[in-house]
Chains A and B, each alone.
Chain A
């Protein structure tokens, strides 16, 4: 069947979150943009309570829940929509303020990594904190000063101390979203990717859970960014940081040299890429809606249905933006629908990120261009959304890396065949 009906639970959820976006995010967008590194605790505490009530503690579809092995008899099986719900949720919150969305409490990428690579015991141990009384944050630390896209070049090392059965981690991570919130402002965790064998490249990469309060872990810097300024982007130095053996995500056997660790990272990204793309669409939709509103106030309406030759340049631009926005959104929906239905979706996940990164960049840039001096002013949020938008095509796999993934997929190439 081919269908495009928004499921009722999502309709309801969206309505609620739209209210949150309008009332708790937008009125404070400018303040937290101008006061970088101030923490939006009102929003954080509100969301924490709201999500506990909704049971969406870790912002990952099944975080902390038991796998339901048997449905009660006679219960009508509703199709799974966990990832679809998340996509809509993130789009709506990002429409409100994507920087603030990034400080929504929950496990975020950290939880996603645990979900993708952890044992059932580890999931329970590490994810339950996101459902406790106080808000907690999760983060993922991959990038280092010398390497971003080339993840296999990381140098942060993890060495096993057999006498204490602890991992000793040394290294520096940068660009860790919510790094400070996870380590210093809450009882959170950071999943740190380190190598247990630098010679082995990808095969030596492993994810380690570093909990708040771990000695030897220091937040050394908070970046000053173009946009998403409400989000803390941290540098973390690990100096002989010790974590229990069990904090190595995955099977507790003596680690062998294989690429499972790296593949674990990539599996994380298949799940999160469409969701990051969804946040981009939220920003794009905000810009496009404001643009149409402002144009309308100036008497410019969009005459859908006319041939190109009769449209004004501005009308044509807006129509192109709508096409970009809607088609990018559908790529995301298909990718998360596949995830919900347990269909392998690396191609669709990367396509959605390629398209959304491109769309939000072009939409926000064109919207500002059209709005001239009015759009350039900080009186409107439009210029903030232009600045917030750009990161979408960069983090969680750049547009270029994702094009590589799409290309490899459609060409049937391994990484070594197409660099």
Chain B
């Protein structure tokens, strides 16, 4: 049947995340973006909400069943708080979820408990590459056989917490197929450049990395010697992007709506001008439309339906366009004040544009 009501457990999780966003993420967001730094134990507190842990089964140290739908609800709420903070909290998932979804049994048993059972640690992943037409099905980073090992060569960008990560997943093209590899970050040939400077999500430390024939044993190929299907990883990444876009956009809609309700113009409130009211109506409608598309994509993944991959792609593309439209309009509705960094809308617009390139920074 069709149903659109989160379960009691899902509601509890979202409520807990909401309190975290209101008490911790949001108050820190502005300064974190200005200073490029997330304060003290903010990320640990977010980690303790258990979003990732709830999506990994007990046998691997977690306490739940993996559900993309639950992940979507959590990601929406985190992004509503702050996108950079959301990415930071979700970073260990970049390592754990590919292993859970595509790893061999040995890999799951070896790598998951240390991530899930402990406090937040910057386990990470290197997916995005620095060319304008980056395609996560055709990496330019290569993996080449060398005896019992693979050699990884290439460049990656947008790697969260690279210098602190001890282990990370690197994605590369092996015999024409996109594959993940579990890599010791201290291996020879791994170079980390200075921290990247981007238009948005400044509080999240992202790095460019070089891999110069970095050696890793064949057993460290995700999925073991036979490798893995790439679809689950890209689907999980796309659905996460979409969910984060929905949350971010809701924040922008609510803020600009509330501003328009307060601000006076020509003897009435800005919200009483049809041009503005229609902008808000369209923003709300688009957010809801893409939100449902994202929920459907997540449900298709959970239900293991064939159409899941295509739907995840459509949801992601839809969310990218929707978030750009909504966050842009939020700035416009605030007029000149929207352009000033005291209000969060310009930051959300910088984030909104970034979504087009953030796939790979979170998974659900």
B 150-176 binary contact with A (CB < 8 Å = 1; else 0): 000000000000000000000000000
Assuming the A-B contacts A418-B271, A418-B272, are A407 and B5 also in contact, with contact meaning beta carbons closer than 8 angstroms in the complex? Answer: no
Nearest Cβ in chain A — how far from B54, in angstroms?
16
Of all chain A residues, the one with the shortest Cβ separation from B359 is A307
Assess whether B199 is interfacial by the CB under 8 Å rule.
Answer: no
Query: What's the least CB distance linking A5 to chain B, in Å?
Result: 6
Q: How far is the CA of A419 from the CA of B1 in the complex (A)?
A: 39
Is B285 on the interface with A (CB-CB < 8 A)? yes
Question: Does B282 lie within 8 Å of A326, measured CB to CB?
Answer: no
B132 cross-chain contacts in A, Cβ below 8 A: 309
Instruction: Return chain A residues, CB-CB under 8 Å to B309.
Output: 304-305
Q: How many A-B residue pairs have CB under 8 A?
A: 138
Q: Is the CB of B285 within 8 A of A323?
A: no
Within 8 A of A (CB), among B1-31: 1-7, 10
**Across the interface, do A7 and B314 meet the contact criterion of CB distance under 8 Å?**
no
Q: Which residue of A84, A306, A330, A338 contacts B289 across the interface (Cβ within 8 Å)? A: A330
Q: How far is the CB of A184 from chain B (nearest CB, A)?
A: 40
Q: How distant is the Cα of A412 from the Cα of B261 in the complex, in angstroms?
A: 9
CB contact under 8 A between A307 and B285, given known A330-B293, A411-B261: no
Q: Does B41 contact A (CB under 8 A)?
A: no
Give the interface segment out of B58-66, B92-100, B108-116, B295-303: B295-303
Assess whether A208 is interfacial by the CB under 8 Å rule.
no
| Nearest-neighbor residue (CB-CB) of B136 within chain A | A307
User: Is A4 in contact with B317, judged by CB distance below 8 angstroms?
Assistant: no
Instruction: Check A323–B272 contact: CB distance below 8 A.
Output: no
Instruction: Answer yes or no: B233 CB below 8 A from chain A CBs.
Output: no
A407 to B318, CA, bound (A): 22
Task: Identify whether the interface residues of A are mostly helix, strand, loop, or mixed.
Answer: helix
- A355-B289, A410-B284 given; A2·B295 CB < 8 A: yes
Residue A328, interface by CB 8 Å = yes
B198 contacts partner chain A, Cβ-Cβ < 8 Å: no
What separation, in Å, do the CA atoms of A407 and B261 have in the docked complex?
11
B281 at the interface (CB under 8 A from A): yes
- 17 extra interchain contacts, Cβ-Cβ under 8 A, other than A319-B314, A406-B284? A2-B295, A4-B296, A79-B3, A304-B309, A308-B356, A333-B2, A334-B292, A337-B3, A338-B4, A354-B281, A354-B282, A355-B289, A404-B278, A408-B277, A411-B277, A412-B261, A418-B272
25 contacts between A and B (CB under 8 A): A2-B3, A2-B295, A4-B2, A4-B295, A305-B310, A307-B136, A308-B356, A323-B293, A323-B318, A326-B311, A327-B318, A333-B2, A337-B2, A337-B4, A348-B288, A351-B289, A354-B281, A354-B285, A355-B286, A406-B284, A407-B278, A410-B257, A411-B261, A412-B261, A418-B271
Task: Give chain B's interface residues, CB within 8 Å of chain A.
Answer: 1-7, 10, 69, 132-137, 234, 257, 260-261, 271-272, 274, 277-278, 280-282, 284-286, 288-290, 292-293, 295-296, 299-300, 303, 309-311, 313-314, 317-318, 321, 356
